[in-house]
Structure 1
Amino acid sequence: MWRATTCGSPRRSRSNGHWAPVPERRRIVVFGDVIDDVVVVPRGPIRADTDTASSIRRRAGGSAANTAAWLGRLGAAVDFVGMVGVDDLERHRELLARSGVTPHLTGHPDLPTGSIVVIVDGEQRTMLTETGANAAMTPDAVADDLLDAAAIVHFTGYSLFGRPDDTALRSLIARAKARGVLVSVDPGSAGFLADFGAQRFLSAVAGADVLFPSLDEGRALTGLATPEEIVARLAEDFAVVVLTLGTDGVLVAQNPGENMVTEPIRIDAIDTEIVDPTGAGDAFAAGFLDQWVRTGDAAGAARAGVLAGARAVATIGGRPA
């Protein structure tokens, strides 16, 4: 075991604020949404009340499941906990297993698998969402024995949005922290954050170590405008804040303890043809977590995340091809 005060190694001692990784723990537990995506890329402006020629592809998705799939493809040891419609149970188990994920899926007898129609317009997307069986998923499904072997547990804001009670999520964070397991959170949706409430969200995820907001999500959470202001504010509450900025790259800020927020580090984006931005943030989180659990270097992990995100935007759908 080794320690460092400001290099970003992924474990903090409660007594001194320093971080030290635990080498024997490498497993990453991801829980949350599983979705069937219908990805639509129009070949021209959408015309009302008539046809628009388009590329239409059906892909397995869901922000949390996408991150798990990218982690598995990158070679990480990853468990995924989620819920689908019972008729889709074996299909989604097989799809996750193909990406190297150990699936822990439950089939809901009544609710269908969640679905999203994703309409892609260059770097922008419009998403029409039905949460389906994801609405019945609870953080209590993450068993203690999974946490006992984990280095990190990761989830997205979709595990909170639309729920009347945050108790189960708070309990999961407490169970993870009691075992020395790190917690990382991707807010997931600026629109749903606005509906849910920024302060309620921040309160519900209190105790998490890593936050992966997009620029729009960072603005929704803080009410601030510039990336530098946003990461400085959020780093008061999280040990590592990784603000994704699309084609402008990534901004990383760290708080090694006692509110000593480090100077943010900017990591440039990689020039690549954008076929479909769906899942780019999920792939980024996977690349970051895979590298961070190995090295404890937040800047190097962000570079690995940028590389994974560039791979994601070059293919249709949110998971590895």
Structure 2
Amino acid sequence: MPGPGERIVVFGDVIDDILVRPHGPIRADTDTPAAIRQRPGGSAANVAAWLGSLGAPVDFVGIVGAGDVSSHAAALEAQGVRAHLLADPELPTGTIIVLIDENNTRTMLTERGANVRLTPDCVDDALLAGAGGVHFTGYSVFSCGGAADEEGFRRLLERAHASGAVVSVDPSSAGFLADFGVERFLTTIRGADILLPNLDEGMVLTGLEEPTSVAARLSEWFPVVALTLGAAGTIVAVAGTEPVCLPVEAALRTDSTGAGDAFSAGFLAAWLSDSGAATPLQRAVTAARAGGAAAANAIELVGGRPD
């Protein structure tokens, strides 16, 4: 189990997920029977919840609508997360409607809500002191209001490194990444130690398509890369070494919502608890296997967080 020196600070989005699985084709201008569930979500908050469920000490910083602080804090604390939630007096909590078709393909309709008010400066130095890792997602970067916020992310990386923490980033969304701008994104997160993209995000970042080439190119920019390929597994790439392909664990796929967040949590918890590994590549392979196990668990559940 991770110890106190392996505490992770997660910063980012909190969302109300509304999961919709129609019982057949959606019919226009009339009713379509469906299974509809509401769950707490948000990529960063999901990572924190999975970390807590894995026994990692974790602090989460986020923002919700003023009336939702207690409920979202309670949901996180139930998973062992120390929640530091800000209350926005004007904007509602962010919401995503997730449409899941018969092939378990997801279509997501997103309202960022109060998340657009969260800035990197909301993570104070006292919270960073003694942390082993700091994690944030592309969703928070995409909510940037301009150059000042981008500079805030660069300051967060500097402050985290000054406190002795490694910084990990999940790019989050290929579509939003393209909208935001690849060069702008890479400049904003320059200096991050660990990048945790899926293949679509890696392709957008590099302009390449072949997965091993994508991972290798990313490892020229980031010391450690774990490129997730869904059912095809994971490619681990560490700067200066050949990428390693790892198979995925077999699992019954119920809902892939949050699988990438679970992977990030498993990876980070294992990475921080395996500082004695002989090489960075061995450490990354062990971490990726732990991430894969967490993701396999996640896709057997409905929603983005552990039960």
- TM-score interval for Structure 1 and Structure 2 normalised by the shorter chain: over 0.9
Find the counterpart in structure 2 of residue 222 from structure 1.
206
Match 2:53 to one of 50, 73, 77: 73
Deviation, 1:50, is 2.1
CA contact (8 A) 1:162 1:196 kept: no
Aligned to 2:297: 311
Q: Distance in 1 between matches of 2:286 and 2:24?
A: 39
- Taking the aligned partners of 2:82 and 2:190, their CA distance within structure 1 comes to 28
TM-score by length of structure 1 reads 0.90
Residues of 1 paired with 2:232 and 2:25: CA distance? 26
Task: Provide the C-alpha distance between the structure 1 equivalents of 2:46 and 2:167, rounded to a whole number of angstroms.
Answer: 18
From 90, 96, 106, the equivalent of 1:110 is 90
Separation (CA, whole Å) in 1 of partners of 2:120 and 2:138: 12
One of 280, 284, 291 as aligned partner of 1:298: 284
Aligned alpha-carbon RMSD (Å): 1.3
Superposed structure 1 runs of 4+ greater than 6 Å apart:
none
Q: Give 1:24 deviation, angstroms.
A: 6.2
Q: Which residue type is aligned with residue 245 of structure 1?
A: L
User: What is the aligned partner in structure 1 of residue 224 from structure 2?
Assistant: 240
Which residue, out of 136, 141, 148, partners 1:155? 136
**Distance in 2 separating the partners of 1:185 and 1:218:** 13
Residues in 1 aligned to 2:164 and 2:251: alpha-carbon distance in whole angstroms: 38
- In the alignment, the residues of structure 2 paired with residue 249 and residue 50 of structure 1 have an alpha-carbon distance, to the nearest angstrom, of 41
CA distance in 1, matches of 2:42, 2:137: 10
Within-5 A mapping of 1:32-51: 32-51=12-31
Q: Which TM-score applies when normalising by structure 2?
A: 0.94
- 1:4 match: none
Letter of the 2:135 counterpart: H
Q: Which has the higher helix share?
A: 2
CA distance in 1, matches of 2:252, 2:25: 20
- The alignment of Structure 1 onto Structure 2 pairs a total of residues equal to 295
Equivalent residue runs for 1:1-321 within 5 Å: 25-121=5-101, 122-163=103-144, 164-165=146-147, 166-255=150-239, 260=240, 262-296=241-275, 297-321=283-307
Separation (CA, whole Å) in 1 of partners of 2:60 and 2:293: 23
* Residue equivalent to 1:17: none
Cα separation, 2, equivalents of 1:253 and 1:107: 39
User: Take 1:60 and 1:269, find their aligned partners in 2: how far apart are those partners?
Assistant: 26
Unaligned regions of 5+ residues in structure 2, if any? 276-282
Q: Percent identity?
A: 56
SS of aligned partner of 2:222:
coil
Structure 1: gaps (5+ residues)? 1-22
Letter in 1 for 2:265: A
